[in-house]
Amino acid sequence: MKMGSSSTKTTPVEQTDTLHGLADVWKVIVLNDPVNLMSYVVMVFRKVFGYGEDKARKHMLEVHEQGRSVLWAGPRERAEAYAFTLQNWQLTTVLEKDETN
Amino acid sequence: MKRIEIKLSQQVVSPLLDFLKPVVRELGSSLALDPVFPEGEDSSFEETWRGDLLASQSGDVSSFLELFDREFVEDGTIRIDDDSADFVLRAAAAIRLHLRARWLRDVPGEILEKGELAYDSLSPDSRQAYASYLFLATIQEIVIQHLEPAGGR
């Protein structure tokens, strides 16, 4: 009985931790660099995220003028996949946990 | 399948290729961009990530150099199609980043973006690097303009 009640107390704590982990939102952020062409950056955003020309261009201008743009936000695993793909296209990309979420 | 042929002056491009070949070899073993990881990742995760990026980059730059093999030597033409567009673009980006980091690091980013470099004030190696940097940008522009690798405009 003791073991049973101990287990009952412990299990919900573990579940709560897991739920927090799943709920974390990660931002995929591209930083400005003076090397990659604007047309290249637009093309990469269109290719990786499937954005239209206008949306891709808006993000490119954000990167260029503000130094960074949040391209995507969501679960960590997908964010990592996007970050890897963007780094593979030679764009400076970082992941940040969305602390406001 | 779309395909473009770019006719280049061998007299102009061959010296740039001689300069670029050792640069490309360096990119077979070191990344053009050092990836930044979020806190909390273990070292084996980072090692795998770096290894995968390096394998991809190495393949891109090797394939890029092959564009300048037999056909280029014969008639000064490089041929790029839909299948090769991606690696050409990525390789050119990697090489340009490396050229900047190694030979043009003292040039302020704004000057570099506007192309307002005082060419005559550069060292001979930096001149070669800058000429190669511009050459690669031109190749990228042509590919983006004519092959529309993002899937149309």
Degrees (nearest 5) of the Cα angle A88, A93, A94? 130
Mean pLDDT, range B92-112, rounded to an integer: 95
Nearest residue on chain A to B55, judged by CA atoms?
A: A88
Return the structure tokens found at A35. Answer: 């090397």
Half-sphere exposure of A56 (CA within 13 A, CB side): 19
CB contact under 8 A, A84 and B97: no
pTM confidence score: 0.88
CB contact under 8 A, B110 and A33: no
Pairing of strands A26-31, A68-74: antiparallel
CB contact under 8 A, B93 and A35: yes
- Mark which residues 3-42 of A lie under 8 Å from B by CB: 26, 33-37, 39-40, 42
At B60, the amino acid letter reads: D
Separation of CA A82 from chain center: 7
- Chain B CB contacts of A26 under 8 Å are 38
DSSP structure string for B90-124:
HHHHHHHHHHHHHHSTTS-HHHHHHT---GGGS-H
Mean pLDDT, range B91-120, rounded to an integer: 93
What is the per-residue pLDDT across A41-66, written as a single tens digit (0 to 9) for each?
Answer: 999 999 999 999 999 999 999 999 99
What is the per-residue pLDDT across B26-54, written as a single tens digit (0 to 9) for each?
Answer: 999 999 999 988 777 788 999 999 999 99
Domain ranges of chain A: 37-97
Question: Per-10-residue mean pLDDT for chain A, 101 residues long?
Answer: 42 46 84 96 97 97 97 95 97 93 65
User: Which residues, in sequence order, are bridge partners of residue B5?
Assistant: B79
- Measure CB to CB from residue A35 to each of B37, B90, B97 and give the nearest one: B97
The residue whose two tokens read 């980043």 is B97
